[in-house]
Amino acid sequence: MDEKTLKLWAITVTTTLLLKVSLAAGQEQHPLWEIEKILSGQKFIDLTHDFSPGIPHWPGFPEETRKTIYWYDKRPDIMGSGFYAEVFTHVGQWGTHVDPPAHFIKGGRTVDQIDPTEMVLPFVVIDVHEECAQNFDYVLTIERLKKWENDHGKIPPHAFVAMRTDWSKRWPDAEKMANKDRQGVAHYPGWSLPALKFLYEQRDVTASGHETTDTDPGVATSKDDYSLENYILSTNHYQIELLTNLDRVPEAGAIAITAFPKPKGGSGFPARVFAIVP
């Protein structure tokens, strides 16, 4: 167990003991507030890109548009005044976003059917940014996951597992994100099917995420192969795409919070994701 993991473990144990003592003594009627006090003393790392027209996105999707319809002062080109309001038009898979099962699986769960219990999770970060710097076509393997477990212990059930590639440092340059060669083939890292099956079938994780635009590596998506994303969503789990700031989160010991609006029957939506870091 590394130092940061040990620190979070100590915080958790201390919190539990303090709550038990205070409850036994009848001194604390709101134990969750005590947990909030402890969490508020930790670091909060935003893992979400700002979104706006012109950001990198899947090439088959239209551009975002925005229109101001109310402004503080009177203007002839808007509906009214006194406050600021806009109309946003964008695809659900825009910026840092959630993909629910229904994104690929007919009859699968939609955004509104993802339960809040799936949004506060142990955060596992697989740091492969050095490997990706040497090989743009890197794919995450079971062997690398087992190395993580050798270093930090078994991946906990119901975790959120993110692959750190540092690809988000290329944002918001769409050409650098796609990294296409002269033949138009994209070169960016991705997951592998054995690694995903290990996580979802043997470690019972709740969700996964990455910094690239796709689950599948660029050489696969260049051939319209999205089989890895299809696999994740077919297991009735969701994923988060286009994460950032994973370099500021330890490989083990943090908590992931994934939040997003609740469009009824929604096929996806921009998300706000952050980590609580010891």
User: What distance in Å separates the CA atoms of residue 120 and residue 127, rounded to the nearest whole number?
Assistant: 21
d(CA 189, CA 135): 8
Q: Does residue 57 have a pLDDT over 80?
A: yes
| Residue whose tokens read 């050489």 | 219
* Strand partners for 256: 121, 275
Specify the pLDDT at position 240. Answer: 98
pLDDT of res. 7: 54
With 60 as the cut, is the pLDDT of residue 2 above it? Answer: no
Comparing C-alpha atoms, which of 219, 210, 165 is closest to residue 187? 219
Nearest-angstrom CA–CA distance, 268 and 195: 24
Cβ-proximal residues to 29 (8 Å cutoff; 6+ apart), any chain: none
**Which band of pLDDT confidence, cut at 50, 70 and 90, is reported for residue 29?**
confident
Structure tokens at 72: 């503080």
| Range scoring the smallest mean pLDDT among 15-24, 101-110, 176-185, 200-209 | 15-24
